[in-house]
Amino acid sequence: MNKKLTLAVAATALAGLMALASPGRAQTTVTAFAPFTLTPTAGVWFKSDVRTGGNASIVDLTGVGGNLETNQPLPIGAAKLTTDSTNAAKAEVAVTNDFGVLNNIIGALAVGYSWHKAANPGQNPNAAPSLKLTFYNPICDETPGLDCFATLVYEPYTNGFGNFPTQDLWQRSDLDASTGTWWTTGGFGFLNGAGGCPCMTLTDWITFSTPDFGQANLIAVSVGVGSFNPGQIGYFDKVTISGTLADAVYDFEDLGPCSLNVDIPNTTLTLLANCVTDHTLLVPDDWTLDGDGFSITAVDPVAGHFLGAIIKNDGATAYVTNLVVTALGLANVCDGGDDRLRGILFDGAAGSISNNTVVNINQGASGCQEGNGIEVRHAPFDNTGTDLAVAITGNVVSGYQKNGITANGSVAATISGNVVTGAGPVTYIAQNGIQIGFGATATVQGNTVSGNNYTPKDTTACGLLLFQSDGVRTGKNVFTGNEKDLCNFGRGGGSANPVP
């Protein structure tokens, strides 16, 4: 085991094993991370050993040949490991957790990964991404001078060092206790001083080792390339780990600028940290984007300016919650159609937008008719279409350019419990707190709307604007500091917010 990973694992494992352990088996989860973190956190892949000349990243696999992944609900991606032409170059990433005590998991232990070795002139054609299992034995702490960590390495070969990997083809290695070719990187105290080859199965190593080895915890799994194998290009994905305390399937996707946890069984994307984007981020169809209190900030790209919504649906249903959406220093350039600035946009989608903070969706003191904080819309923009139900609840919206919350077209909106705050008396744009228009129907209840005031007399800013709507029910809203609290240019008839 390399020293860097030993120290990193020890720092988290020794302090965290008791906290991670739990009775019974955890439910299988599927997660993805982009990019890799720099420090170890339980369940999160990190750069455990990336030496000079090595690189580890999450990439889009478009254009990568071979038997690619299929039936993916998200864009096809994978982890990529590379080394340059020097022998010292290495790229290794790892995940730490408490996967169970070896004696308890040996019958149930299942580890596997999908891997792809790209052809590259000058590389060792026999080298491929290898997988490592790292064990920690607390019993050996009682004997001074013993190394309490052991690493077993799996190379994707069979029959010793025969049957070398095929290049430019995705392959799968599903490992268990009795198959595969394993070796160690050296003597590790309770392994009877054995190291390197002969190449044994995992069962052989356990049998060959001292009885104490069975008390060791599997605490880390890693995948790497390099170290006297220059010029390597390797991909890996779908790492599965099954023990007694936790099951996990790790799937790697290129999800853009934001680091996200992807839970495929629960169709949830969870933001792991604040991030910045210069383009629209899409929520997959019928998925939830959970900000977990973190922020996504829109900035202008290096060339040009930010276009369109910051967050947008990518299908017929979407959910956005617990997210901070904001913009910083956007150029004052007027755009129309899909390129208009919005914070969160549902276009042709049902779902919910709840408990978010949407702030500063603007281009400064701009008169451009865009910059809506939250907007839901669906064609046709009259009362002839089939309404899509959208709930907009519990959000805080301020610093918007044109409207705080907008529902236009064939939508049936429930807008409740929101706090919408305009810029106060301004001369450059007529803001509206909430707009229901162009055939939309809505219940607008329990909102606090303030500060929408356009000082020139030719146009009126409204707390609640109804424009050619198709039935709106209001109640228990609080309006303060608006030029006009209610502007009714077509409330519409019939019942408000009918079930589509």
Confidence category of residue 166, pLDDT binned at 50, 70, 90: confident
Question: Given this model, what pLDDT does residue 377 score?
Answer: 97
pLDDT > 70 fraction of the chain, expressed in percent and rounded: 74
Residue 242: predicted pLDDT:
75
Q: 8-31, pLDDT tens digit by residue?
A: 332 222 222 212 222 233 334 566
Cα separation of 4 and 488, whole Å? Answer: 67
Question: Which pLDDT does position 103 carry in this prediction?
Answer: 64
Band of residue 485 on the pLDDT scale cut at 50, 70, 90: very high
Instruction: Read off the pLDDT of residues 197-208 as tens digits, 9 standing for 90 and up.
Output: 445 566 666 665
Please tell me the distance from the alpha carbon of residue 168 to that of residue 234, in angstroms, as a whole number: 10
Q: In 3-state terms, what secondary structure has residue 283? A: strand
CA 113/CA 76 separation, integer angstroms: 16
Distance from C-alpha of 165 to C-alpha of 157, rounded to nearest angstrom: 7
Element (H, E) at 181: strand 181-184
Please say if the pLDDT value at position 371 is more than 90. Answer: yes
Listed by start position, the domains of the chain span: 3-250, 260-489
Model pLDDT, residue 364: 96
> How many CB atoms within 10 Å of residue 498?
12
Evaluate if residue 159 carries a pLDDT over 60. no
Q: Give the confidence band of 6 by pLDDT, cuts at 50, 70, 90.
A: very low
What tens digit of pLDDT does each residue of 247-292 get? Answer: 777 888 777 778 777 776 678 888 988 999 999 998 988 999 999 9
For residue 452, the number of C-alpha atoms closer than 13 Å in the C-beta half-sphere is 32
From residue 162, alpha-carbon distances to 41, 158, 159, 314 in Å are 37, 6, 6, 47
More confident site: 267 or 101: 267
Phi-psi region of 212 (alpha: psi -120 to 50; beta: other; left: phi over 0): alpha
HEC secondary structure over 17-77: HHHHCCCCCCCCEEECCCCCECCCECCECEEEEECCCEEEEEEECCCCCCCCCCCCCCCCE
* pLDDT score of 83: 93
Q: Which amino acid, one-letter code, is at 351?
A: G
> Tell me, what DSSP letter sits at residue 139?
G
Cβ–Cβ under 8 Å, residues 292 and 324? no
Q: Are 305 and 330 in contact (CB under 8 A)?
A: yes
pLDDT value of residue 251: 81
**Mean pLDDT throughout 349-364?**
98
Looking at 119-133, 345-359, 400-414, which range is the least confident one? 119-133
At 15 the pLDDT is 23
Q: Which residues of 400-417 are buried (b: 16+ CB within 10 A; e: fewer)?
A: bbbbbbbbbbbbbbbbbb
Question: What angle (nearest 5°) sits at the alpha carbon of residue 341, between those of residues 336 and 343?
Answer: 150
Domain 3-250 has CATH 2.60.120: yes
Query: Please, which pLDDT band fits residue 123 given cuts at 50, 70 and 90?
Result: confident
Chain length of the chain? 500
Cα-Cα-Cα-Cα dihedral sign, residues 367, 368, 373, 375: positive
Question: In whole angstroms, how far apart are CA 112 and each of 214, 223, 241, 247, 315?
Answer: 21, 11, 7, 12, 33
pLDDT beyond 90 at 327? yes
- Spatial neighbors of 458 by CB under 8 A, at least 6 apart, are none
| Cα–Cα distance measured from residue 29 to residue 249, given in angstroms and rounded to the nearest whole number | 6
3-class secondary structure, 95? strand
Task: Check residue 189 and give its pLDDT.
Answer: 41
Q: Using CA atoms, how far apart are residues 458 and 483, in angstroms rounded to an integer?
A: 12
Mean local confidence (pLDDT), 158-173: 68
Extract the tokens encoding 102: 């070896």
Please, what is the average pLDDT of the chain?
A: 80
Q: Binning pLDDT at 50, 70 and 90, where does residue 245 land?
A: low
